Chain A
Amino acid sequence: MLFTLPSYNFISAPLWIVTVLHIVTLTLHFLAMNFMVGGLAIVLFGCFKNKQENPVVEKFIRIFPSMMSATVTLGVAPLLFVQLVYSKPIYAATVTSAWFWLMIFMVAMMSYYFLYGAAFSTKFIGMKQRIYLTIALMGFVYVSFVYSATFAMGEHPDVYQALYAGNQSGLVLNPDVFSYIFRWMHMLAGAVMVGGFFVVLLGRDNEQAFIVGRRFYLGAFLVSFALGIAYLFALKDILRLIMRSPAIWILTGSIALSVLSVFWLYKRKIVLTSIALLVSFVGMVIVRHIVRLIYLKGSALAFDPAQIPFQPQWSIFIIFLVFFVVAIAAVAYMFKLFYGEQV
């Protein structure tokens, strides 16, 4: 061969851009996902008076399929970016738990169809609907669990290497439950908290919905706070490294904003609550990102994404940015057309 074949060991945009895009899209995905999971939990278990006649409950059930679309669509981008940067540990972990990982899309599809089944029902909220929605929720719990277990495993190369050495069938789930159980439960509780916020938002003119949403918001906040603390202590030695990184300040700020959001919600200051919740949320996603970096840098892989060679592809990157803006504009335009004519 008279020429050298192209290398693929490069990143085609500055790492900080990829990281920002990853965090932004992951935040959006989590928000949509939390609407789903939290909303489902509240619709099913919330103590509404006359739930069957509550228009907010009906609205949620009708919107669930569309929000599921948003969850899936918004989940594509962060998965792409995380696999771009962290391909080696992520793929290794997913292969180790291959069957559980592969089942995710089938379970998600099943949940999706059950959401449509509930949304197309004429009777709110009958037994059939409850069953459909419960099955959908169980599906999301499975998806979130496997994601947590697998991505946690991706941060511990020693774990997946040892597991793989013993079993290559793909029927292995991360046995180091302690490393991710609090994180997973914290995220579920957080989802209920965000779900409570959306109930409040959509039900701001419905006192019953507001009360239920607010109750779930506070309760879930307390639970997720406790689980978050438990998770921090479960990190053991890594906690010390976090305390010495910017993550501790971001985390502190996020917790403070979460507390403020509860306060503002009880004061019915929805806009301030939204801002505090959103900023806190972004902070948590950033902390999550930093924790992964700390784990991987300290692992046997000694992985530092900053070491990946940079080989720009500016033309296609600019095209992506243009289409990104065009997509936002197109979506906004379509919503304007849609809601502009709604009676």
Chain B
Amino acid sequence: MNYPFWNVGIGYGVLMASIAVIHVFVSHFAIGGGLYLVVAETIARRNQDEEKLNFLKKLSKFFVLVTVVFGALTGVGIWFIIGLLNPAATEVLIHNYVWGWATEWTMFVTEITAAILYYYGWKHMSGRNHLIIGWIYFIAAWGSLFVINGIITFMLTPGEWIQTGNFWDGFFNPTFWSTLWLRTGVCIMLAGLYSLLVISREKPSDFKVSMVRFNAIWGLAGLLIMVPTMYWYWHAMPETITVTALKMMPTPIKALTASFWNAGVIALMLIIFGFIIPRRLHFITALVIMLLGLAWFGHFEWMRESIRKPYVITDYMYGNTVEVAKKDAYKKNGYLSEIKMRTGDDGKDLFLHSCRTCHTMSGYKPLKPAFDGTEKEFIQSVIMGAHKLKGNMPPFWGTKKEAGLIADHIYKKLDQRDLSEIYTLTGKALGAKVYEVRCGRCHEIGGYNDKSEVLLTGATEESLGMILDMAGDFAPEMPAFTGNAQEKKALIEYLLTVKE
């Protein structure tokens, strides 16, 4: 809350992902490709294979243009975007890990220099010296992965750092080693996929076939490393994270499942086009495999980022930059006193800093479908009980008055007609919609926090009516039922059909 909030129309997650996923897709290739080049060059020189060496020269050019330019600048792009989307979390990371980042920078300097000299050195350098530079490149590149991995994994599993504040406790956190080797596997896989793309443009020949097989081996080797390390990664995460995700967070679970499918299809295509019909590998096929690789990475990063919810740094800072350490101060003084840069509209400021990091009104993770047709009192109650909602939301530690200001701000942007009018529904269908909007965010029938058995056993129209009248008294987080008589009747009708 120390910083202004960038009220951009696009969802924060989308903006971050569009830069970050592209960068990691290229940067991991930069590492794996470095290993690929030196290994392939060693083999080619040993066998005096000029054709292979020429291919590697071509690959080097592609490598430099993609990794040194696009990879490096998108890395800068990530640095810029995290400072714009969450300067508070970035500040925490910089203060704790500046020397880690500075160390990574020294590796980066070595890596970039080596990449350029490796590319330009094909013409005149001896094989031995050229390979020395290539190996220096790979070691420096992998070293930079080693460092950044410590910082990124810290965000999800800070481990003992939460108690000690010690650099090394945070760096070598519970998911450090599993992710390091998982990402190394990814690097190797991507080296194979990118090289397949380059070789696919060559004319059909025995050489092309041999290179396709060689690249497919890399792709599959990477996947083979990724399988056990992904298992390791999942089990290295604290159960509080994984169990919660399985229980109430469909986004990371769906993303993880999708990544398994991506990996499976990549493996299948590598086997088919790498070994069974390598002569049939065309550019489009190789591009599809690459896109699947990009999809894998997108799903993996989406899983990694979303499973961390509601935190941006687990147990330390929530995604909306609310700090766990300041809980008592927030509860005493509210959020407004902590918001340093104000617009003059308190409701807006509170909404931006409490909700807008994750939610837009109509676009990404929209709030309008959740609140259209409801009332300010209802919205205020939902905000006060946000931590009970399905989806693992951060708690609201501001004052009730501040929740009311946020509710006012949201309410002005809603469709304020009744639910029946907005969705042109009556009867049971209206009841289902009323349940979805007024109850279902916390009580999923057959799912999260399902109270239907308790609620509906022996229920009658009259008993359900009484329960709805008393809803606000059941728990501090539970909103009172503020729907109109038609909605109440429809909801009861719907619940009685659920009972049946």
Interface residues of A (CB under 8 A from B): 1, 3-13, 21, 66, 69, 72-77, 79-81, 83-84, 87-88, 91-92, 94-96, 98-99, 101-102, 104-106, 108-109, 112-113, 116, 160-161, 164-166, 168-170, 313, 315-317, 319-320, 323-324, 326-327, 330-331, 334-335, 337-338, 340-343
Contact = CB atoms under 8 A, between A and B. Distances in A.
Contacts of A108: 73, 76
A34 B165 CA distance: 41
Given A10-B95, A164-B343, A168-B4, A334 B114 contact: yes
Contacts of A9: 95
Contacts of A91: 3, 83, 87, 90-91
B110 A80 contact: no
A313 B99 contact: yes
A200 to B, nearest CB: 24
A322 to B, nearest CB: 9
B68 interface: yes
Interface string B338-354: 00011110000000100
A105 B95 contact: no
Contacts of B337: none
Interface stretch (B5-13, B393-401, B438-446, B477-485): B5-13
A94 B84 CA distance: 7
Contact of B108 (A11, A73, A83, A95): A73
B5 A341 contact: no
A12 B99 contact: yes
Given A105-B74, A330-B140, 15 more contacts: A1-B324, A5-B162, A69-B68, A69-B72, A80-B101, A98-B84, A105-B80, A106-B77, A109-B73, A112-B69, A116-B69, A164-B341, A319-B103, A320-B99, A323-B103
Contacts of A80: 94, 98, 101-102, 105
B316 interface: yes
A101 B4 contact: no
Nearest to A323: B106
Interface string B23-50: 0000000000000000000000000000
8 contacts: A12-B99, A12-B167, A69-B68, A69-B116, A88-B3, A106-B73, A161-B341, A327-B109
A341 B96 CA distance: 44
A53 to B, nearest CB: 23
Name which of B81, B100, B102, B324 has the most chain A CB atoms within 10 A of its CB. B102
Nearest to B323: A5
B73 A8 contact: no
Interface of B is mostly: helix
A169 B8 contact: yes
A92 B73 contact: no
Contacts of A340: 129
B76 A72 contact: yes
Contacts of B113: 330-331, 334-335
B121 to A, nearest CB: 6
B126 interface: yes
Given A66-B116, A326-B106, A170 B84 contact: yes
B63 to A, nearest CB: 13
Interface of B: 2-8, 65, 68-70, 72-74, 76-77, 79-81, 83-84, 87, 90-92, 94-96, 98-103, 105-110, 112-114, 116-117, 120-121, 124-126, 129, 132-133, 136, 140, 161-165, 167-168, 316, 323-325, 341-344, 352
B161 A6 contact: yes
Contacts of B344: 165
A198 to B, nearest CB: 18
B106 A327 contact: yes
A343 B94 CA distance: 45
A322 B328 CA distance: 43
Given A101-B80, A341-B124, A331 B94 contact: no
A343 B73 CA distance: 33
Contacts of B83: 83, 91, 94-95
Contacts of B79: 76, 79
Contact of B102 (A8, A72, A77, A161): A77
A86 to B, nearest CB: 11
Given A69-B72, A112-B69, A316-B99, A6 B114 contact: no
Contacts of B120: 338
Contacts of A170: 6-8, 84
Given A91-B83, A95-B5, A334-B136, A168 B343 contact: yes
Nearest to A1: B324
B87 A87 contact: yes
Contacts of B110: 326-327, 330-331
A80 B5 CA distance: 21
Nearest to B2: A88
B94 A87 contact: yes
Contact of B80 (A104, A315, A342): A104
Contact of A323 (B77, B107, B126): B107
Contact of B6 (A73, A81, A84, A95): A95
Contacts of B68: 69
Closest 10 CB pairs of A and B: A6-B165, A91-B87, A168-B7, A327-B106, A109-B73, A5-B325, A105-B77, A316-B99, A323-B106, A8-B92
Nearest to A329: B110
Nearest to B94: A84
A320 B162 CA distance: 24
Contacts of B74: 105, 109
A83 B126 CA distance: 43
Contacts of A77: 102, 105
A168 B349 CA distance: 10
B106 to A, nearest CB: 4
B399 to A, nearest CB: 22
A128 B136 CA distance: 36
Contacts of A69: 68, 72, 112, 116
A338 B133 contact: yes
Contacts of A316: 99-100, 103, 167-168
A76 B76 contact: yes
Contacts of A83: 83, 90, 94
Contacts of A8: 91-92, 95-96
Contact of B99 (A66, A168, A317, A338): A317
B95 A338 contact: no
A168 B117 contact: no
A334 B117 contact: yes
Name which of A98, A161, A319 has the most chain B CB atoms within 10 A of its CB. A98
Given A69-B72, A108-B76, A320-B103, A337 B7 contact: no
A163 to B, nearest CB: 9
Contacts of B116: 66, 69
Contacts of B133: 334, 337-338
Contacts of A343: 124
A123 B7 CA distance: 48
Contacts of B95: 8-12, 84
A7 B124 CA distance: 54
Name which of B70, B76, B98, B108 has the most chain A CB atoms within 10 A of its CB. B98
B94 to A, nearest CB: 5
A330 B341 contact: no
Given A105-B80, A337-B129, A324 B117 contact: no
A195 B84 CA distance: 33
A342 B124 contact: yes
